[in-house]
Amino acid sequence: MSIVQRLLETRRLERQAPHDDVVIEQMRKRDLREVLAIENQVYPKPWTPGVFQSEIDEMRSGYRNYVVARSGGRLIGYAGLLYSGDDAHVTNIAVDPTVHRRQLATRLLIHQARFAIRQGFRNLTLEVRASNRAGQELYRRFGFVPAGIRKNYYEGVEDAIVMWCHDIDGEGYSERLRGLEAGIAR
């Protein structure tokens, strides 16, 4: 078996790995190399190491929460939140393209939503590219609804859809999160 064939087989097996091997933990400075590798693959205009370092520093101040997802010790995704008043704003969610379709973005957003609830926030908000239909669908499953458009938000050429999810501190929202988790277990 050639090196390329082994690599392809390894990636195929990783995609088939069980869901319960995913661990979500706080992002640390030592994670930045792997985070940046994913960032550079999934975003046309990726954040710089300095931006991520600043966000990690803000976590220490209590104004942000960034987490990473690992499988088999390998960093495969991350997500961030920033706080303002009663709102927690999803700054980013990214998953290594080699492990798409394992519901990692769902897992990361469940984790961040629960974190926001524990911290006493009432609402979640985010921006999503107008062209990112998969992302919009994911956010709708979490109860986000479009609330506006930011013209030319991304690289000055693509609009962002502003989405809000209100009243995350209620029992109805906790039930929604339990339903999303049950969908992962299947």
Catalytic residue among 139, 153, 158, 175: 139
* Phi and psi, residue 80, nearest 5°: -135, 155
- Structure-token pair, residue 104: 């990692």
**Whether residue 127 lies in the annotated active site:** yes
Q: What angle do CA 136, 36, 143 make, to 5 degrees?
A: 20
Q: Which of 133, 182, 125, 132 is nearest to 154 (CA)?
A: 132
Selecting among 78, 127, 154, 173, the annotated active-site residue is 127
- What angle do helix axes 133-141 and 104-118 make, rounded to 10 degrees? 50
Phi and psi for 149 in degrees, rounded to 5? -125, 135
Active site annotation includes 139:
yes
Residue 161 pairs in a beta bridge with 128, 149
Instruction: Bin 72: left if φ > 0, else alpha if -120 < ψ < 50, else beta.
Output: left
Can you tell me which residue has the tokens 């109860």?
A: 143
Catalytic positions, written as ranges: 127, 139
